[in-house]
A = this chain, B = another copy of it.
Amino acid sequence: MVNGDIDLFRPRSLAIVGASREPGKVGHAILKNVINSGFQGKVYPINPKAEEVLGIKAYKSVLDVPDDIDLAVIVVPASIALDVAEECGRKGVKNLIVISAGFKEIGGDGVERERRLLDIARKYGMRMVGPNCLGIIDTYTPINASFSATMPRRGNIAFISQSGALLTAILDWSIKKGIGFSRIVSLGNKADLNEADFIQAVEEDVNTRVVLLYLESIENGRHLIEVAGRVSRKKPIVLLKGGVTEAGARAAMSHTGAMVSSIAALEAGLRKAGILIARNLSELFDYAIAFSCQPVPMNNRIAVVTNAGGPGVVTSDMIVSRGLRLASLAPDTVGNLRSKLPPAAAVYNPVDVLGDARADRYSYAIETVLNDDNVDGLVVILTPQAMTEPVETARAMLKLNKKYPNKPMIGVFIGGDMVEEASRVLIESGIPVYDLPERGVAAIYGMCRYRENLEYLEKISERATFFDVDRATALSIISSVRGENRRTLLESEAKDLVRSYGIPVAPTRLARNEDEAVDIAAKLGYPVVLKIASPDIMHKTDIGGVVMNLNSEREVRDAFRTIIDRAYRYAPKALVYGVVVQKMVPRSREVIIGVSRDPVFGHVIMFGLGGIYTNIFKDVSFRLAPLSVHEAKEMVSETKAYTLLRGYRGEEPSDISSIINTLLRVSQLVSDIPDIVEMDINPLFVYGEGMGSLAIDVKVVLS
């Protein structure tokens, strides 16, 4: 977060505009926090009515300060915040934190006020946090330029939150839980700096090992993907997203006024950004604790060492339910365990060292298991029983964790007083320990997911080679539609558009009258289909606007008249261009390819099995454009339809590579022509292997 050569988190001097002498006021709290945090730079309280605040000489305006100001924290009422910002700009302040509320979040005037505030910041080249935020904290600088009452412990977790109240509550909670932070950022309204900027800022921050986000809205999906996709390769980014249900989104909108993405776009975007999703606050922090001190496992094969059968069973269930694998121990490992453990011990994973295990037996079992190449990570469960030595066992774990530094180790110590000291020993030396199996499994699951995300980012980094397409034709179709002031392309136009991008279509021409229809039919060759051509009639079949299997001139003429007649009867106000004549093509397996444009993430491409099954079984996949080859392949293979397409129970396999090819061409098309807000190829007929596919109906809508 460097502006010029001034790091927002490491200012040499700081002014607090609105610093107050009155305890309880925010402007008082912030100054006090800055002082108490041990900030080493210069501090200038700005207060027009005071000579000094908290024993520090105060100035009437930033303009009166006889020194450079790197960072100004603005705490004055919204009504005068713009004037203050203007003064800061004139003073040459580099960064602003605007605590003041009364901007976009209140709607109405506030929206305009925020726009003007941003204009001022831009005019003077200042970067700005907020408005309507809590401030920022860096525990290493150290600086607490926020009105949070709590200065967190020092740690290596950066926490960036769109909810200020959640931050304060979690900071208080974190002290009790012994969780430490490197940085805390309250995003506020994100008028200037947003989540992507702060993720970028921690990229090179040596004190941060993992980034936690709480977001209710995403400002710029494409930018987030770019930044997070890069930073994720160095440090895990974990997100708890508020507003993932319709009800939650409504609640979020009511207090942020932000744009909302579709769930499909959001999921596709976060996947592309390599961001890990936490389902709730426990997961967010359980992941963070694990990342903050343990290595990422090389694979998903997890071993469990326990002194109690029940918790071992439950943990095994959870490991498998989460999609991880219970490691298969090598015969040598099993043999070694069997030779030294009591006969009643379980020597397969989960390894049960039995209730009377002391630290030495635990140590032997743990080391034996860690030595096994089939094991990528370890959960050690301890329940306090008569012979159990919790602290000694913890010490043995620490020793072995150092000796095997590439395999993460997680403790699950179930109990109260009897395991308290041991848990402290573990946490303080860098082995995360949880009180219940589900939390330990969540932590190791998070780490495995992160490794998968890294592999995924690698796979999708290989961009699809661009196809050689007829872009000129495509653009001329679009401009002719625009010329007619239309947003919806006619079927024939839409088909020409996709054909210009190399997607085979069932030959189709627009006929404006009966004679044209007959001519076209003759040219295309019988049998043909006639469909109503009207930008106002989307569901052609519903009004009887499609007649199939026409084999002669007479049938074409009859069908033409019938369709036009029905159109005028059922949609009297519709603009009718005539009918499109399409050559009948052999039926085949039907799939659907669709595109919609999300306000936050841009074009989302959908793939699904055609027919009623798409609707009934919701068997569809989504990815953001532009697609890599890997993503296009995944879109097909992750649907259940894939089983059918590969040839189920002796049926002929479908030409899957032609679907992938079509997906990639669609991706290139919408990337070249961002005006497209909606597009559907429905159905796409897919023929046997090597036989390709054919777009039967195509719809395109422009913005």
**Given A436-B280, A437-B280, A649-B612, A177 contacting B386 (CB threshold 8 A):** no
* Contact present for B313 and A216 (CB under 8 Å): yes
**Chain A contacts with B in 400-451, Cβ cutoff 8 A:** 414-420, 435-439
Pairwise interchain contact B244-A317, C-beta atoms closer than 8 A? yes
State how many angstroms separate the Cβ of A347 from the closest Cβ of chain B: 10
Assembled-state Cα–Cα distance A29/B245 (Å): 53
A residues contacting the other copy or chain, number (CB 8 A): 88
B314 and A240 within 8 A (CB): yes
Is the pair B415, A172 in contact by a Cβ cutoff of 8 Å?
Answer: yes
A436, B216: Cβ atoms under 8 Å?
no
Stretch from A53-61, A118-126, A247-255, A505-513 that touches the partner: A247-255
**B177, B386, B612: the one within 8 Å of A648 (CB):** B612
A165 touching B417, Cβ below 8 Å = no
Chain B min CB distance to A414 (Å): 4
Interface check A321, CB cutoff 8 A: yes
| Given the contacts A165-B308, A617-B640, A437 and B281 also touching, CB distance less than 8 Å | yes
CA distance A613 to B418 in the complex (A): 54
Identify A316's interface contact among B245, B308, B617, CB under 8 A: B245
| Copies of this chain held together in the complex | 2
A292 at the interface (CB under 8 A from B): no
Closest to A252 in B: B313
From A24, A29, A418, A612, residue with most partner B Cβ within 10 Å:
A418
The answer to whether A383 touches B308 (Cβ under 8 A) is no
Q: Are A310 and B163 in contact (CB under 8 A)?
A: yes
Determine how close the nearest CB of chain B comes to the CB of A344; give it in whole angstroms. Answer: 7
List of B residues within 8 angstroms of A420 by Cβ: 176
- Rounded to whole angstroms, the CA-CA distance of A383 and B248 in the bound complex is 19
Is A247 in contact with B616, judged by CB distance below 8 angstroms?
no
Residues on B with C-beta less than 8 A from A649 are 612
Could you give, for residues 309-343 of chain A, a 1 whenever the CB lies within 8 Å of some chain B CB and a 0 otherwise?
11111101111110000100000000000000000
Asked whether, in the complex, the Cβ of A243 is within 8 Å of the Cβ of B617, the reply is no
B344 & A418 in contact (Cβ 8 Å cutoff): no
Q: A165-B355, A168-B385, A281-B436 are in contact. List 16 more A-B contacts (CB 8 A).
A: A106-B344, A165-B310, A169-B414, A173-B414, A175-B417, A216-B313, A248-B313, A248-B314, A248-B320, A251-B309, A251-B313, A255-B352, A280-B436, A280-B438, A281-B437, A613-B617
- 8 A/B residue pairs, CB under 8 Å, sorted by A: A165-B311, A176-B416, A216-B310, A247-B320, A251-B313, A251-B350, A255-B309, A613-B613
